[in-house]
């Protein structure tokens, strides 16, 4: 499976299924390679992936990021093989360990040591039985790796890594650990807005959703940001983790990831109307690979 160079990472929780299908078709027509679907407490990303794959012909669809605590390894393997076969190899699965406050606070499950838990999950997936019709090629598996130990696990146990909410400096570190070969598919939030103050104010409500989650905080500290930067969502924090400006500025950030070692960048467009969850088509059209 060729994931291509540029994709879209997007929440469809606010969209009806027909509207989501129409958006996927439009994304496909704009030339984007892969559409990444997150998982929180909304739509099931595997069910949504099946729907969007059935309504497109060339667009690849990936989970980004499916929570391993939501299903046991045999189920994930079956979902992966089923969607791969249904779509003629247009499905890819990225999975992650989520965060303790979400797993224990929302799901009421016990949160285990991240790396050991993920390693055990991957090894169980690898030995899970699957007796149905399947494609000749196995579907790709990536993990949401941020820290060095999880990146090492991505290198040894999967086809690559899908870091979320990072910047080019992290991409460089990730590629150094992964070495040549494993896929590095990074998410990048983008805002098509040239006014610095307005762009940063658009970014902060989005960042606030994540800035108390421990795995992200630990990674931002590794990236050289401070506790104060993270707590107060400083200009430095925003500029490091979001790309904003005109089309050329956004393309420069995408290129910076590529130069740092990314194979694929999935952009998450932040709508300048200030409504999180509204697709910003002006941004997607401006950055369109087909344009």
pLDDT single digits (tens) 17-58: 999 999 999 999 999 999 999 999 999 999 999 999 999 999
pLDDT band at 274 (very low <50, low <70, confident <90, very high): confident
Please name the residue ranges forming H helices in the chain. Answer: 17-29, 45-54, 73-86, 100, 114-126, 148-157, 168-178, 196-208, 214-222, 227-232, 235-241, 247-260, 281-286
Cα 44 to chain centroid, rounded = 15
The pTM assigned to this predicted structure is 0.97
Q: Token pair of 18, please?
A: 């027909």
Q: What percent of the chain has pLDDT over 70?
A: 100
pLDDT band at 170 (very low <50, low <70, confident <90, very high): very high
- pLDDT tens per residue, range 214-259: 999 999 999 999 999 999 999 999 999 999 999 999 999 999 999 9
- Provide the 8-state DSSP code for 187: E
* Stretch 134-147: mean pLDDT: 95
Q: Per-residue pLDDT for 291 more than 90?
A: no
In the three-class reduction of DSSP (H, G, I as helix; E, B as strand; rest coil), residue 230 is classed as helix
**Nearest-angstrom CA–CA distance, 160 and 39:** 19
Structural domains present in the chain = 6-286 (3.20.20.30)
């Amino acid at each position: 499976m060729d994931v291509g160079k540029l994709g879209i990472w997007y929440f469809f929780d606010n969209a009806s299924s027909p509207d989501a299908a129409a958006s996927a078709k439009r994304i496909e027509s704009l030339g984007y390679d892969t559409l990444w679907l997150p998982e929180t407490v909304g739509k099931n990303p595997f069910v949504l992936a099946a729907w969007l794959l059935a309504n497109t012909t060339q667009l690849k669809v990936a989970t980004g990021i499916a929570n391993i605590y939501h299903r046991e390894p045999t189920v994930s393997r079956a979902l992966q093989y089923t969607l791969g076969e249904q779509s003629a190899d247009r499905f890819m699965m990225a999975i992650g360990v989520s965060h303790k406050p979400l797993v224990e606070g929302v799901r009421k499950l016990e949160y285990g040591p991240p790396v050991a838990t993920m390693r055990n999950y991957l090894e169980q997936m690898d030995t899970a039985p699957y007796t149905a019709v399947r494609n000749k090629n196995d579907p790709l598996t990536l993990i949401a790796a941020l820290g060095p130990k999880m990146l090492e696990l991505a290198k040894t146990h999967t086809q690559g890594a899908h870091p979320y909410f990072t910047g080019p400096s992290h991409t460089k570190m990730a590629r150094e650990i992964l070495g040549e070969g494993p896929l590095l598919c990074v998410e990048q939030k983008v805002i098509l807005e040239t006014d610095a103050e307005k762009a940063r104010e658009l970014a902060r409500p989005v960042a606030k959703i994540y800035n108390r989650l421990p795995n992200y905080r630990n990674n931002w500290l590794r990236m050289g940001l401070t506790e104060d930067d993270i707590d107060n969502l400083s200009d430095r924090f925003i500029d490091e983790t979001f790309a904003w400006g005109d089309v050329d500025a956004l393309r420069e950030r995408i290129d910076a990831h590529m130069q740092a070692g990314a194979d694929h960048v999935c952009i998450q467009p932040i709508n300048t109307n200030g409504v999180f969850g509204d697709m910003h088509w002006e941004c997607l059209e401006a950055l369109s690979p087909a344009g």
